[in-house]
């Protein structure tokens, strides 16, 4: 399935921040970067399944709130222990004042 899913309003996320987005029994993290781009990853840390939306966004990194592991949310790449497994990422686009996510 490659449909675009309406995730949230563009003003629902502050710059350099993250929100949680649940859809179809799954949970995602939706990011707004400092340069006003939107990104989406799986919502749970690959280390111990903690919601990343409670974490801290610094530039293009998301830091897990439990153990401070870091990912580059643009690529999903694990950047700092204790995370070792990359996050899955999802394509996003903006349509008017809505952020859409392509959930494959």
Partner 1 sequence: MARRDYSLLGPDAQRAVETGLAAAEWYHTDIPRAEMKALMARTDAPAIRDTAIWLGLMVAFAGIAIWLWPSWWSVPFWLAYGVLYGSASDSRWHECGHGTAFRTAWMNTAVYHLASFMIVRNPVTWRWSHARHHTDTIIVGRDPEIAAMRPPAAARMLLNFAGIPDIIAGLSRMLLNAAGRLDPEEATFVPVSEVPKVILVARIWTAIYAATIALALATQSILPLMVIGLPRLYGAWHFVLVGYLQHAGLADNVTDHRLNSRTVLMNPVSRFIYWNMNYHVEHHMFPMVPYHRLPDLHARIRHDLPAPAPSMWAAYREVLPVLLRQLRHEDAFLRRDLPPTARPYRAEFHADVSAGAPGVPAE
- Would you count residue 82 as binding partner 1 (CB under 8 A)? yes
Hunting for tokens 């952020």 — which residue is that?
A: 99
Name the token pair of 91: 């394509």
For the CB of residue 27, give the shortest distance to partner 1 in the complex, in Å: 14
- Would you count residue 63 as binding partner 1 (CB under 8 A)? yes
Residue numbers 24-53 binding partner 1 by CB under 8 A: 47-49
Interface segment toward partner 1; rule CB under 8 A; list 1-9, 22-30, 38-46, 81-89? 81-89
Give the span between the Cα atoms of 29 and 72, in whole angstroms: 12
Confirm if 76 and 88 have CB atoms less than 8 A apart. yes
Cβ proximity to partner 1: between 64 and 103 the closer is 64
């Amino acid at each position: 399935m490659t449909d675009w899913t309406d995730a949230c309003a563009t003003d629902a996320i502050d710059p350099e921040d993250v929100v949680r987005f649940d859809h179809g029994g799954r949970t995602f993290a939706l990011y707004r970067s400092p340069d006003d781009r939107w990104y989406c990853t799986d919502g749970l840390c690959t280390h111990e399944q903690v919601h990343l939306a409670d974490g801290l966004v610094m530039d293009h990194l998301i830091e897990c709130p439990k153990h401070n592991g870091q990912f580059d949310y643009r690529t999903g790449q694990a950047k700092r222990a204790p995370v070792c497994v990359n996050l899955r990422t999802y394509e996003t686009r903006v349509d008017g004042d809505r952020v859409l996510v392509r959930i494959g």
